[in-house]
Structure 1
């Protein structure tokens, strides 16, 4: 996986914002996941069908963080989502 990879949210996943958090439900496994602030931003951008390059660029405008660190953190987060079956990465 790299910043050029294509990410797709699984069809069996539903997300809901509750107060300041985003809760994700995998309807297949019935597992719930809660996202922190950064995860919520990434999920929201994925939901808008943004590619990883667009997500990185938008987040660089939001946060003062080195580009390499942001890219690494985004990719690590997406890898964790993929391992849980919430997204697929091509």
Structure 2
């Protein structure tokens, strides 16, 4: 279960504007204009990035991924939370409680 103080299942997740994103060989790569860094989001990270183009709750994001992929809910929650915390630390997503 998710136990992060910054992000909960009811938190709303959305993209920060001002990033240049491209597909390269099935993976998403991104340049953050605000910090000048490049990121390889990977295949699933790219799916998550596309999903949060319009803000949604973490619960909705997890449910969407579980409908698309065969993965245990707890593992999915842990992996997505870890990924989102990295994006939050890099200030390329917004989290609203």
* TM-score bracket relative to the smaller structure: 0.7 to 0.9
Stretch moving more, 48-57 or 34-43 = 48-57
Deviations, residues 10-50 of structure 1 (Å, cap 9, x unaligned): 12222222331111111022111011121111111111433
Find the partner of 2:74 among 65, 68, 72: 68
What number of residue pairs does the alignment pair up?
Answer: 90
TM-score by length of structure 2 reads: 0.81
Find the partner of 1:25 among 31, 40, 48: 31
Deviations, residues 49-72 of structure 1 (Å, cap 9, x unaligned): 333222111111122111111111
C-alpha RMSD over aligned residues: 1.4
Q: Which residue of 2 aligns with 1:56?
A: 62
CA distance in 2, matches of 1:50, 1:41: 14
CA distance in 1, matches of 2:58, 2:64: 10
Structure 1 unmatched runs, 5+: none
Poorly superposed stretches of 4+, deviation over 3 Å: none
